[in-house]
Amino acid sequence: MTETQTHARLSVVVPCFNEEAVIRETHRHLVAALEKVPHLDFELVYVDDGSRDATLKHLRGLQRMDERVRVLALSRNFGHQIAVTAGLQSAAGDAVVIIDADLQDPPDVILEMIDRWRDGADVAYGIRTQREGETAFKRWTASAFYRLINRIADVAIPLDTGDFRLMDRKVVDAFLAMPERDRFVRGMVAWTGFRQEPVPYRRAARIAGETKYPFRKMLRFAIDGILSFSLVPLRLATYVGFFASILALSGIVYALALRILTDIWITGWTLLFIAIVFFGGVQLVLIGIMGEYLGRIYGEVKRRPLYLVKERLGFAPTGRDSR
């Protein structure tokens, strides 16, 4: 993008779930950061993901005061990744930024992402060099998760990267053309290819409010990510099956050899019982893994819409916004 061209249009997508404590402050920071960028028009697409507090009221207020604000209110809580997808679907910019509503992703980093984009990058993704205000447990589980998924996933998903990123229009369109329901956004964007560049930043602590990702949701998110990007868990059944067969075979050979070559009889049912229980357990676990994939296939074939919208404010009545 050269300086002589007309203004580039940037959309910033902000998923919000019960963020009444921070949302106005976030808006102020975003606007302050984006107004520093020369030759740029921007819109802020706030997606209210079925908040149960006053978030939507605040968003309506922001929209009345600032015509660059768009509000997309979903009919209930659909979850972070779906909220991000909804925002991308309604964003009109030549490039789109995804950023959390809690200022953990510093808005000034967007400026650097825009520079990368103007230098030709198609995706500029934030890499967390430090995480502040998060428990050692969260940092440790997050780091273990990124390393695991990288070992077994079919595409390379950058380490320590969240959804904070800038994407060129062509990447956004490629992303939106993927119809899947389990939307592991960072994996799907990595899958598209193109020119993707890291932008290191320090992840700050939340300025207010609480995390919407308690352990249970984090685990769900991790499982979603792994299952939608890897078939390794399914292959586990084959490996364990081979291992068990070899074990059983050596047991048979051993018992036979003892019987033929010595006068020792192997007796007792304890070992037998343990073996049955053990392999019963293993089989149930593996059936469970298959069930996880099957459940996802079931979800896909139902072909329900990803989300429903209850309110749209500030969007242009025509063009891509009316989709």
Report if residue 211 touches ligand UDP, rule: CB under 6 A: yes
Quick one: 48 or 122, whose CB is closer to ligand UDP? 48
User: What's the per-residue H, E or C state across the chain?
Assistant: CCCCCCCEEEEEEEEECCCCCCHHHHHHHHHHHHCCCCCEEEEEEEEECCCCCCHHHHHHHHHHHCCCEEEEEECCCCCHHHHHHHHHHHCCCCEEEECCCCCCCCCHHHHHHHHHHHCCCCEEEEEEEEECCCCHHHHHHHHHHHHHHHHHCCCCCCCCEEEEEEEEHHHHHHHHCCCCCCCCHHHHHHHHCCCEEEEEEEECCCCCCCCCCCHHHHHHHHHHHHHHHCCHHHHHHHHHHHHHHHHHHHHHHHHHHHHHHCCCCCCCCHHHHHHHHHHHHHHHHHHHHHHHHHHHHHHHHHCCCCCCEEEEECCCCCHHHHC
Quick one: 15 or 126, whose CB is closer to ligand UDP? 15
User: String of b and e for 92-125 (b: at least 16 CB within 10 Å)?
Assistant: bbbbbbbbbbbbbbbbebbeebbebbbeebbbbb
Contact track, ligand UDP, 275-304, x by CB under 6 A = ------------------------------
Report if residue 105 touches Mg ion, rule: CB under 5 A: no
| Shortest distance (Å) from residue 257 CB to ligand UDP | 57
Report if residue 102 touches Mg ion, rule: CB under 5 A: yes
| Shortest distance (Å) from residue 23 CB to ligand UDP | 9
Quick one: 240 or 306, whose CB is closer to ligand UDP? 306
| Shortest distance (Å) from residue 3 CB to ligand UDP | 33
Report if residue 190 touches ligand UDP, rule: CB under 6 A: no
Which region, judged by CB under 5 A, interacts with Mg ion, from 92-100, 119-127, 178-186, 299-307? 92-100
Instruction: Report the C-alpha gap between 320 and 15 in whole angstroms.
Output: 20
Which region, judged by CB under 5 A, interacts with Mg ion, from 47-55, 94-102, 112-120, 132-140? 94-102
Which 87-116 residues touch ligand UDP, going by CB under 6 A?
100-102, 104
Q: How far is CA 165 from CA 97, 105, 117, 149, 259, in A?
A: 6, 10, 11, 20, 67
Q: How far is CA 238 from CA 151, 282, 320, in A?
A: 18, 12, 47
Report if residue 150 touches ligand UDP, rule: CB under 6 A: no
Quick one: 63 or 211, whose CB is closer to ligand UDP? 211
Which of the listed partners (ligand UDP, Mg ion, none) does 105 bind, with a CB threshold of 5 to 8 Å by partner kind?
Answer: none
Quick one: 122 or 307, whose CB is closer to ligand UDP? 307
Report if residue 143 touches ligand UDP, rule: CB under 6 A: no
Quick one: 50 or 314, whose CB is closer to ligand UDP? 50
Report if residue 222 touches ligand UDP, rule: CB under 6 A: no
Q: Tell which one of 10, 11, 13, 19 touches ligand UDP (CB under 6 A).
A: 19
Which of the listed partners (ligand UDP, Mg ion, none) does 60 bind, with a CB threshold of 5 to 8 Å by partner kind?
Answer: none
Which of the listed partners (ligand UDP, Mg ion, none) does 17 bind, with a CB threshold of 5 to 8 Å by partner kind?
Answer: ligand UDP
| Shortest distance (Å) from residue 100 CB to ligand UDP | 4
Binding site for ligand UDP (CB under 6 A): 15-17, 19, 49, 77, 79-80, 83, 100-102, 104, 211-213
Binding site for Mg ion (CB under 5 A): 100, 102, 104
